[in-house]
Amino acid sequence: MKPIISAAQLRNALNSISRQTPLQKLNAAKPYNYFLTAIESSPQTHTEPLSITFQELLHPSLGDIEWSVQINFVVEMEFLLRQYTMAGCSGKPLFILHGDERIPNGTRSQVTTHFIKMNSAYATHHTKMMLFGYKDGSMRVIVSTANLFEEDWRNHVQGLWISDRLPPIKSENKASIGGESVTGFRNDLAKYLEAYKLAHLNPFIKRIRNADFSSVNVFLVTSIPGTSDQWTNDNAHGYSRVQWLLQRHCEPINDTTPLVVQCSTFGNLGAAGNGWLNEFKTNLCRDSQSNIGRKMSPIQIIYPTKNNVLRSYDGAHGGGSLLYDRRRHEAQQWLNEFLYQWRANERHRTRAMPHIKTYARFTDQKLHWFILTSANLSKSAWGWQKTKKKFEVSNYEAGVLFLPKFVTKTKYFAMDASDQTTPVFPKVYDIPLIRYQTDDRPFFREDVLDDVLPNGCPIA
């Protein structure tokens, strides 16, 4: 296993990134505000405009930090606090909401931690989100796929959506409903945080309610544990939330257009492809056109092969975040038909293994919608229809949905520079996709030695 890099090495890596300030990068990334993490072993990513480091998220060009909230699954305190120290923010209040049972609840110095205990052994507090409050009263929201430990920020591909700076609503407007985004992001974020029922979060929820989110052009898509009989309305979570949004706002898509899933592990998808995966696909292939008489759309799933991982920058250790189980795969061999290799030559990341999770529908270099999320392909993450009237979700998850209607006011996002309909949407992986070859198989968690995972804790 490669040694953990030092603070000096981190500073050097930061210095090698594009000379643009993070604010300049963010302004140039409009209208998508969508980045991938820089890869330590891929020098080309160090100057790529749409690459970013943890340190850049704390950079003063984005604001003078007054407080921050880190919502995540696995937390390596030494790594996280070092980032704040290096950025000169170590004295600022930091609240950490997490699912890492190794870290006890409590307050030390300016840091308060709170562990979210789940109701089931199969459920996970899996959301990866950051909130930053600035001294001028503004704030910022970041939705990410990275855990808060060093390995996740070195040679793993991670995605981040970074909001614009969200100013406070002027006092004379606070009594009105001004400042909400056209996607209702502010209200959805506040409702998500309120679901924790934690007094610690109340000041941050208040700050959100009093911030101007009108610049936000994406939808927040969350999962909150529980059972609901209102899974088709705009208060829904998991895949029912996506279904509801697509039915109301997505332009009609040809049934032959595949659903493309890219994830870092799979849940129990059943003994045949007509089980939960079919349920999931049916709901994510909705659009504003009636579903009556339509054909089932195909699905393509990008997941690294064993050879993909062995040829990665870190060899077998690079698969430490890929948690698919050999025994589970033996029970769902039908999945092989839908599997595609990991390839990201265009973004210089083929040898960096993906921990990012994305869902999309595209054809002929036209992207109809795109989701960046913490949610892997599983019932726990996305929910399932327990009965005809009951929809159940196990995990906490968070992501953002990009719909052309709200981001570029067009029918699709361009994916190639030759199409000037919209700014080119940043690709994560190479297109066209490459199927598994005859001798390929998925990378299994058993292919990695146990000591690759920090303190034996599973990464997701």
- Quickly list DSSP for 98-146: E--TTSPSEEETTEEEEE---SSTT--B---EEEEEETTS-EEEEEES-
The full 3-state SS of 37-79, as one line of letters, equals: ECCCCCHHHHCCCCEECHHHHCCHHHCCEEEEEEECCCECHHH
Active site residue 125: no
- CA 251 – CA 254 distance, rounded (Å): 10
Q: Of 46, 98, 355, 368, which one is the catalytic site residue?
A: 355
Task: Give the residue among 399, 392, 131 at the shortest CA–CA distance from 263.
Answer: 399
Chain centroid to Cα 47, Å, comes to: 23
Task: Give the residue among 215, 249, 220 at the shortest CA–CA distance from 235.
Answer: 220
**Cα–Cα separations (whole angstroms), residue 6 to 11, 49, 54, 86, 311:** 9, 25, 15, 12, 25
Contact by Cβ (8 Å): 18, 49: yes
- CA 314 – CA 8 distance, rounded (Å): 21
**Cα–Cα separations (whole angstroms), residue 440 to 305, 325, 434:** 6, 16, 12
Q: Of 98, 114, 126, 317, which one is the catalytic site residue?
A: 126
Chain centroid to Cα 102, Å, comes to: 23
Active site residue 355: yes
Question: Which DSSP category does 296 fall into?
Answer: P
Task: Give the residue among 363, 401, 103, 126 at the shortest CA–CA distance from 265.
Answer: 126
Contact by Cβ (8 Å): 148, 138: no
To 10 degrees, what angle do helices 239-249 and 276-284 make? 30
Provide CB contacts within 8 A for 197, sequence distance 6+: none
The set of catalytic residues is 126, 355
